[in-house]
C-alpha cells in the first residue's frame, strides 16, 4: 500500500468537499488511489443522504437570477434555517441556478442528471452536500423563462424567502421590469390576465355574487350590472395586469407596461405547501442528540 501524504488528503478534500478524517479513511480503504477514494466518498455520501431522505425539508433558499433576457427562479430546501446561511449551501444553490440558465433542463430529474463539475452530477453534488452538512436537502422546483426582445426580471425578497421571475416581451426598461417583479412579490397575483382565469372559477364567483345581490333585494334589472362591477373588482384582486401597481397606485400594472406583454410569471414562497412537522423545543433537541 502506498504511503498516504497530507498533500493527498488535501487534494481529495478539494475534489470531494468531505472532511479530513473521511478523506484519510477513504485513501486508506483504497490504497491511496485518488479516483477510487473519490468513488468511495461518493458512495458514502449517497448512503448518508438516503438515511436523511425521510426528514422534512421546508427551510432553505429561493433564488432568482436574470441575465437580462433569460432568468430562473429555483427553490432548494433544507431542514433548518441555519443551513440557508451556510456558504457551501448558498454556493450550491447559486451554481444550480447557473446550470439551469446554461442547459435549460425540462424538469428537476433532468437537472439532477446534468454535470455539476468535472467530477460530479448535480445529484451527486447534492448527496455530498447532505453528507457534509448532515441535513436532508432537496431541489424542489424551478422555473426558467426567456424572451426574444424585452426583459426577464428577477427579484428576491426576505433573504431568499420569496423569489419572483417575470418575463416581459416588448419595449420595457430594466427598472420597470424589476418594479413589476417586486409588485408580484408584494401583491401575489394568481394570474397574469383575466383570460387566464379558469372558466369554472369565474362561474363559481359569478354565482355567489348573483345570489348575494338577489338576496339583498336589489331589483332584478340591475343585478347583472352589479355582478359585472363586482367581477371586475374580483379580477383586479387576482390578475397582475389589473392590479394597482405598487410603484404607482394611480395606475394598473397593465397601464404602466403600455404595449409590453407579460408572457410568464413565477412566484415561489419558501416551503409553501410543504407540511412541516410540529415539535416542541425539548423534543427537537432530544431528536438532534439522538442523531
Domain annotation for the chain: domains and CATH numbers: 6-52 (1.10.8.10), 59-192+262-272 (3.30.479.20)
The model's pLDDT over 77-92, given as tens digits with 9 standing for 90+, comes to 998 888 888 999 999 9
What is the pLDDT at residue 122? 94
- Mean predicted lDDT score pLDDT of the chain: 86
What is the pLDDT at residue 281? 47
Taking 70 as the threshold, does the pLDDT of residue 112 lie above it? yes
Grid cell, residue 159, equals 433573504
Q: What angle do CA 231, 176, 60 make, to 5 degrees?
A: 85
Q: Given the C-alpha cell 409553501, which residue does it identify?
A: 272
Alpha carbons 34 and 56: distance in angstroms, whole number: 35
The model's pLDDT over 196-253, given as tens digits with 9 standing for 90+, comes to 999 988 888 888 888 888 888 888 788 888 988 989 898 999 999 999 999 999 999 9
Could you please report the per-residue DSSP string of 229-249?
HHHHHHHHHHBGGGSEETTEE
- Average confidence (pLDDT) over 95-107: 97
> What percent of the chain is modeled with pLDDT above 70?
86
Taking 80 as the threshold, does the pLDDT of residue 66 lie above it? yes
Q: What angle do CA 100, 104, 107 make, to 5 degrees?
A: 85
What is the pLDDT at residue 276? 62
Under the banding of pLDDT at 50, 70 and 90, the label for residue 282 is low
- Average confidence (pLDDT) over 106-133: 92
Which residues make Cβ contacts (< 8 Å) with residue 284, sequence separation at least 6?
none
Which residues make Cβ contacts (< 8 Å) with residue 45, sequence separation at least 6?
18, 124, 127, 128, 130, 131, 132
Q: Which of 108-122, 150-164, 224-238 has the lowest mean pLDDT?
A: 224-238
Instruction: State pTM to two decimals.
Output: 0.73
What is the pLDDT at residue 19? 66
User: What is the phi/psi pair of residue 155, to 5°?
Assistant: -145, 135
- Average confidence (pLDDT) over 13-33: 78
Q: Is 139 helix (H, G, I), strand (E, B) or coil?
A: strand
Amino acid at each position: 500500500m502506498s504511503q498516504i501524504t497530507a498533500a493527498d488528503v488535501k487534494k481529495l478534500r478539494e475534489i470531494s468537499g468531505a472532511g479530513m478524517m473521511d478523506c484519510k479513511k477513504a485513501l486508506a480503504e483504497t490504497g491511496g488511489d485518488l479516483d477510487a477514494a473519490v468513488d468511495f466518498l461518493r458512495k458514502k455520501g449517497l448512503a448518508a443522504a438516503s438515511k436523511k431522505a425521510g426528514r422534512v425539508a421546508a427551510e432553505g433558499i429561493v433564488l432568482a437570477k436574470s441575465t437580462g433576457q433569460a432568468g430562473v427562479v429555483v427553490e432548494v430546501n433544507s431542514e433548518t434555517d441555519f443551513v440557508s446561511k451556510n456558504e457551501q449551501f448558498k454556493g450550491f444553490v447559486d451554481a444550480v441556478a447557473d446550470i439551469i440558465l446554461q442547459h435549460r433542463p425540462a424538469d428537476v430529474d433532468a437537472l439532477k442528471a446534468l454535470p455539476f463539475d468535472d467530477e460530479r452530477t448535480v445529484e451527486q453534488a447534492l448527496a455530498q452536500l447532505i453528507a457534509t452538512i448532515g441535513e436532508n436537502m432537496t431541489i424542489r422546483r424551478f422555473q426558467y423563462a426567456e424572451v426574444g426582445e424585452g426583459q426577464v426580471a428577477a427579484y428576491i425578497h426576505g433573504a431568499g424567502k420569496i423569489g419572483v421571475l417575470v418575463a416581459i416581451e416588448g419595449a420595457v426598461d430594466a427598472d420597470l421590469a424589476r418594479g413589476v417583479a417586486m409588485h408580484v412579490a408584494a401583491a401575489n397575483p394568481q394570474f397574469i390576465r383575466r383570460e387566464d382565469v379558469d372558466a369554472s372559477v369565474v362561474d363559481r364567483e359569478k354565482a355567489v355574487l348573483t345570489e348575494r345581490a338577489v338576496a339583498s333585494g336589489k331589483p332584478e334589472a340591475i343585478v347583472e350590472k352589479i355582478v359585472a362591477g363586482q367581477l371586475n373588482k374580483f379580477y383586479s384582486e387576482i390578475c397582475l395586469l389589473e392590479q394597482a401597481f405598487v410603484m404607482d397606485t394611480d395606475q394598473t400594472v397593465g397601464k404602466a407596461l403600455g404595449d409590453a406583454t407579460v408572457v410568464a410569471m413565477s412566484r415561489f414562497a419558501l416551503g409553501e405547501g410543504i407540511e412541516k412537522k410540529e415539535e416542541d423545543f425539548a423534543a427537537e433537541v432530544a431528536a438532534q442528540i439522538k442523531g
